[in-house]
Amino acid sequence: MLLDSGAKVDAKPEHMVQSALMGSVYSELMFGVEKPRVGLLNIGEEETKGNEQALATYPLLKEEQHINFIGNVEGRDINKGTVDVVVCDGFVGNVVLKFAEGLASAIMVVIKDAISKGGLMAKLGGLLLLPTMKALKKRADVTEYGGALLLGVKAPFIICHGNSKAKSITSAVRVAINFAERDVVKHIAEIVIKDEEK
């Protein structure tokens, strides 16, 4: 889970901590992750790396008792499975999100091209890989998710792409219903209020 992916492009360190809290609650309730691992997206793993925002945010996340902060993570860590919630500002998060979308599409094009231009063995290999490729394509398909959740508001709120089709909207509604049924808004509000009281 990547927070923020575009809502708050000039986030202050306190906003990044709130993102970490909300992402942790969301990961627990929606994905069943116990004690989600939270990482701060940075240019290196060392505590002393990063810009002013990262350097100011790191100690706040480290001191935060309601999250399982594992330290700085790099872009290459996002999809490794070593971190559950990646925290960054909305500018960086949106760049990461759009790069990932473009990369997924580019990889599929390169594979299709290699298979179509390859010989008989490449085509046979492509046939064997077809079910796996379809599963990968579905996993990377943004229409499966509908859009990005805007956490921290009083109701399920999903921001869809401007060019969303019926499948995206249907997926967004499905996610919003699931979000509401699990009472995520209430749980997020409780943890944020509890955190502000300390």
Structure tokens at 157: 């709120």
Q: Find, among 17, 93, 5, 94, the residue nearest to 56 by Cα.
A: 17
Q: Which residues contact 149 (CB under 8 A, 6 or more apart)?
A: 26, 156, 157, 158, 159, 175, 179
CATH of the domain at 77: 3.40.718.10
Do 95 and 78 touch, CB atoms closer than 8 A?
Answer: no
The proportion of the chain whose per-residue pLDDT surpasses 70, expressed as a percent, equals: 99
**What pTM was estimated for this model as a whole?**
0.84
> What pLDDT score was predicted for residue 194?
77
Domain residue limits at 51? 2-197
Q: Which residues contact 158 (CB under 8 A, 6 or more apart)?
A: 146, 147, 148, 149, 150, 172, 175, 176
Burial of 7 by CB count in 10 Å (0-12 exposed, 13-18 middle, 19+ buried)? Answer: buried
Q: Find, among 37, 4, 12, the residue nearest to 151 by Cα.
A: 4
Counting the structural domains of the chain, the total is 1
The tens digit of pLDDT for each residue in 85-129 reads 999 999 999 999 889 888 888 888 898 899 889 888 888 988 998
The tens digit of pLDDT for each residue in 53-78 reads 999 999 999 999 999 999 999 999 99
Mean pLDDT within 169-191: 87
Q: Which residues contact 78 (CB under 8 A, 6 or more apart)?
A: 2, 41, 86, 96, 100
